[in-house]
């Protein structure tokens, strides 16, 4: 993967480039109430450049309102979010990255967002999610 990894939502209305910090080597999920329902596998990016469709992005914030989650207002796909734990970093939905599927990863680390350090919790790793092809 290059420094500028191309990505888009399902319908293509939102197109962006993600500057992945460590490629696809550190993908993860989170078990907080929002991420648990969203279910996305994310990669870490140091920057996001929206190429087209910025007017189609919808922002959602909840609880502490520190993390900004972005969705395509046309197809509803979660594209990326600005992290609460480190606002200079982003989580990118790997399914939006060109040529990548969340099922490409046999084991995904799950971060303990239920016990987020920002709320006095210990954080850390809650477990691992495994995908076994049939």
Lowest mean pLDDT among 2-16, 64-78, 97-111, 117-131: 117-131
- Examine the pLDDT at 110 and tell me if it is beyond 50: yes
The confidence band for 3, taking pLDDT boundaries of 50, 70 and 90, is confident
Cβ neighbors of 79 (< 8 A, separation 6 or more) are 7, 9, 14, 16, 57, 70, 71, 72, 92, 93, 96
Q: What is the mean pLDDT of the chain?
A: 93
Q: Is 118 helix (H, G, I), strand (E, B) or coil?
A: helix
What digits encode the pLDDT tens for the residues 48-106? 999 999 999 999 998 777 889 999 999 999 999 998 888 999 999 999 999 999 999 99
Q: For residues 66 and 84, is the Cβ–Cβ distance under 8 A?
A: yes
Count structural domains, the chain. 1
pLDDT on residue 99: 96
- What CATH number did the domain enclosing 65 receive? 2.170.150.70
Q: Greater confidence, 4 or 8?
A: 8
pLDDT on residue 1: 46
């Amino acid at each position: 993967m290059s420094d500028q990894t191309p990505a888009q939502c399902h319908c293509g209305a939102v197109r962006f480039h993600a500057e992945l910090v460590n490629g696809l080597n550190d993908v993860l999920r989170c078990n907080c109430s929002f991420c648990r329902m969203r279910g996305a596998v994310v990669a870490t990016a140091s920057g996001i450049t929206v190429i087209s469709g910025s007017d189609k992005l919808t922002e959602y914030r909840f609880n502490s309102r520190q993390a900004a989650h972005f969705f395509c207002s046309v197809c509803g796909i979660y594209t990326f979010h600005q992290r609460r734990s480190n606002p200079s970093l982003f989580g990118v939905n790997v399914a939006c990255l060109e040529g990548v599927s969340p099922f490409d990863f046999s084991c995904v680390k799950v971060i303990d967002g239920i016990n987020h350090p920002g709320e006095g919790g210990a954080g850390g790793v809650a477990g691992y999610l495994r995908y076994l092809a049939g």
